[in-house]
Amino acid sequence: MKKPPEALLKLIDLGAIRGIIIEYRQTGNDTAETFCEILGSGTNKVGGLWRTYKPFLDVKVEWATVARVHATYIKDAAEWEKFESENAKELAEYNRLKQKFEA
């Protein structure tokens, strides 16, 4: 099973998305990027390139939120967490061996 992108896991950890701040910045002489800061419930927030987070979000202003993570991605993340908890011992051994042979 493939681990979901880290950006998706960060968005899910935010909980309710209360705000999105988007800023277009020049990154070179003739290039620019769109950066964002996504505000969750409480003081939780994530930031980075907008294109990193945009595919996972359904932006829609509602009563208490301005966006939500697509349901299919939430399901994928839940399946990963279940897989990870069921196979924690094997994954730890895999990571240990991976580090050993990469060094």
Does a structural domain hold residue 58?
yes
Does a structural domain hold residue 22?
yes
> In 3D, which of 18, 53, 19 has the Cα closest to residue 35?
53
Does a structural domain hold residue 89?
yes
pLDDT for position 29 = 85
Quick check: 33 and 25 in contact, CB under 8 A? yes
Confidence (pTM): 0.81
Other CB atoms within 10 A of residue 47 CB: 15
Q: Which residues pair with 37 in a beta bridge?
A: 21, 47
Give the span between the Cα atoms of 12 and 56, in whole angstroms. 10
Residue 103 clears pLDDT 80, i.e. is over it: no
Q: Give the model's confidence band at 2: pLDDT under 50 very low, under 70 low, under 90 confident, else very high.
A: confident
Does a structural domain hold residue 1?
no
What is the span of the domain harbouring residue 81? 6-102
> How many domains are there within the chain?
1
Other CB atoms within 10 A of residue 35 CB: 17
